[in-house]
Amino acid sequence: MTAGVVLHLTEAAAGKQRAVLRNALNLLPEVEVGTPIEVVVHGEAITLARPGQATADALAEAQDAGITIVVCRNSLRSQDLTDRDLVHGAVVVPSGVAHLVARQLEGWAYLRP
Amino acid sequence: MTAGVVLHLTEAAAGKQRAVLRNALNLLPEVEVGTPIEVVVHGEAITLARPGQATADALAEAQDAGITIVVCRNSLRSQDLTDRDLVHGAVVVPSGVAHLVARQLEGWAYLRP
Amino acid sequence: MTAGVVLHLTEAAAGKQRAVLRNALNLLPEVEVGTPIEVVVHGEAITLARPGQATADALAEAQDAGITIVVCRNSLRSQDLTDRDLVHGAVVVPSGVAHLVARQLEGWAYLRP
């Protein structure tokens, strides 16, 4: 078993974002129950975590299944957004890239679909 | 030395697929003899493993050199394809992303060119 | 703390290259002082390390901050370039992908923004 899995998403395109959420969902039945799976977004990709997007249904399905959406505060700030502009359940970290580094040090697997 | 190397490919564009096969070939002389190298395809990228593609020559060269093409069964199924639609030598795994996670746990290096 | 961080860049687009340099700069205050951070370029991305590019200011800022630009000699050769065609401070390695594998074996974190 793995400590957890981070999926790294940097693109804004709805089709790409849906594909990455699907990758995360497809992982769920393959890992030990309780293994955390995170989709980490920064840069243009933080649209994924904003309400009312074209990807809202896919996002809700992923969150309902237990997948955590992690958002980069540096990216929020540079787009003049705050935590209140995000969907319920999104987790904000100081730096998306630093979070991805930290997770690897904790033994998580890294995927950049 | 490394246990092995996985190259993660998600794009359908022939130019991109050729570049990733070239990356895999360029790795060969740099790693210890016998180190396994896999190109893992899922989503749109599974075209790489279908016969008669524009990338067929590059694919044959990579396979002849000992590089293994690993295909995601979830992706095959969602495109109404089966193992018989793939080139000889392609290896099918239940989930491409789960395979990439498993390889990292086994100590393989991960590249997403 | 981590042994170091490699950021893997394969794209030629100036906007993408600037974003990756920004990711590297954003990492700096988040890692322990002295942790090496490298941006590894191969294929089309080696334009980043050539003088007189649209990204020159962002590149100089990153290098001044202590980030190392690592260039693949295979890619240089295939584009009929030599070390003398690169900006001061760029480090050339025999193979970009092999370098990324070696760094992971040394315990560095891998990011492909």
pTM of the model: 0.97
Dist CA B23 CA A67 (whole Å): 32
Q: Give percent above pLDDT 70 in chain B.
A: 99
Evaluated on CA atoms B23, C69, C17, A55, the torsion sign reads positive
Please report the pLDDT score of residue B2 as a whole number. Answer: 77
Which residue in A7, A10, A17, A22 has the most chain B C-beta atoms within 10 A of its own C-beta, making it the best mutation to test that interface? A22
Q: Is the pLDDT of residue A1 over 90?
A: no
Dist CA B42 CA B59 (whole Å): 16
Mean pLDDT per 10-residue section of chain C, whose length is 113 residues:
92 97 96 96 98 98 98 97 98 98 97 98
Tokens at residue C44, please? 């089309």
Specify whether the CB–CB gap between B18 and B39 falls below 8 A. Answer: no
Residue B77 touches chain C, beta carbons under 8 Å: no
Q: Is the pLDDT of residue B76 over 70?
A: yes
Amino acid, single-letter form, for residue C24 = A
Dist CA B52 CA B67 (whole Å): 19
Q: What chains are in contact with B, requiring at least 3 Cβ pairs below 8 Å? A: A, C
Q: Measure in Å the smallest separation between the Cα of A30 and chain B Cα atoms.
A: 6
pLDDT digits (tens, 9 = 90+) for C35-55: 999 999 999 999 999 999 999
Closest C-alpha among C104, C68, C100, C102 to residue C87: C68
Mean of the per-residue pLDDT values for chain A? Answer: 97
Inter-chain residue contact B23 with C97, CB threshold 8 Å: yes
Please report the pLDDT score of residue C1 as a whole number. Answer: 64
Inter-chain residue contact C101 with B2, CB threshold 8 Å: yes
Please compute, for residue B39, the number of CA atoms within 13 A of its CA located in the half-sphere on the CB side.
Answer: 32
CATH topology of domain A5-111: Hypothetical Protein Ychn; Chain: A, (3.40.1260)
Tokens at residue B113, please? 């060119």
SS3 call for B87:
coil
Contacts of C94 (CB under 8 A, 6+ apart): B30, C73, C74
**Complex prediction ipTM:** 0.95
Q: Which residues of B touch A1 (CB under 8 A)?
A: 105
